[in-house]
Amino acid sequence: MATGIIYSDRYMDHITGFYHPESPARMSAVMDNLRNSTVWTSVQKIDPSSAETEIIQLVHPESHVSRVKDICLSGISPLDGGDTTVCADSYSVALLAAGGIVAGVDGIFSEEILNAFCVIRPPGHHAELTQSTGFCLFNNAAIAARYAQHQYGVEKVFILDWDVHHGNGTQHLFEDDATVFYLSLHQFPFYPGTGDSSEKGHADGLGTTCNFPLSAGSGDESYLDIFENSIPEIVASFSPDLILISAGFDAHARDPLANMYVSTDAFRSMTEVVVRLADEVCHGRILSILEGGYDLAALAESSEAHVRALLAARD
């Protein structure tokens, strides 16, 4: 089975203004590089459709969805915390981002593809239940998890978040839910201020949240030690039916918004570990979702390395 690349040119229509780091240029950097690489002839290209609002409401209440829509349609205006700039097209693009997630889940569970990389924007892991922050409107990873459970009866989902910023929204949405395991590696202390190792979930979800807060300056050795020596046992113990990756590449050594020293090669090695684990526990099912990454060249290189490792799962 193939590796899917899920993308639409309409993701460029989410205009965040001059100098905003989460810009349409991120899509161009990733896709131009993939199209010019040798991986392009080996992947299955998937053009998504917009998700129905009912799918967004598997995670976010209707009142929040409507508020985001109204703010976007009013023109360029920051959402909630002020760092999430939107334009009149941002709501429809966010629905299309969720549609990319739906296409990925559908493709995997219909066995048309083995795994997929969703090259989508706006990103999602900072989006809380009723608040859009950190460049995120709706929580794409959370929508993927709930859609898989709702549509395909998936019992357990593992979300692995290696974006350099802790995915506060994703953690909070599932921290009392034993059916979704959230694990994050991130720079700490750093935006958004959550993700201490003491945060392990609540109530029925106690023990299904795991954080690896890393000091500024951490690089390949720290990340790969966790991937080789900690994550495999955690994943095996939870035994998920699907693995989601919140694949931010802003821990890269060249990223301007963080202070970590992860290399392009390390992102490939991290992906290889996840591919091996997915093969062991969930028939290879991996849906990877682009989150951060703001040095365009590093983002493009890391995304290609990530896709190469996903493709290797077929061999």
Question: Is 126 among the residues known to form the active site?
Answer: yes
Q: Choosing from 60, 64, 125, 126, which is the catalytic residue? A: 126
Q: How far is CA 110 from the centre of its chain?
A: 21
Strand, helix or coil for residue 267: helix
Q: Where are the domains of the chain?
A: 2-312
Joined together, the tokens standing for residue 278 give 């997915």
How distant, in Å, are the alpha carbons of 17, 94, 242 from that of 258? 21, 25, 29
Backbone angles phi, psi at 264, to 5 degrees: -60, -45
Best CATH choice for the domain 2-312 from the list 3.40.800.20, 3.40.50.300, 3.40.50.800, 3.40.50.2300: 3.40.800.20
Q: Taking the chain (315 residues) in consecutive chunks of 10 residues, what is each chunk's mean pLDDT?
A: 96 94 98 98 98 98 97 85 89 98 98 98 98 96 98 98 98 98 98 98 98 98 98 98 98 98 98 98 98 98 98 77
Q: How far apart are CA 77 and CA 71, in angstroms?
A: 7
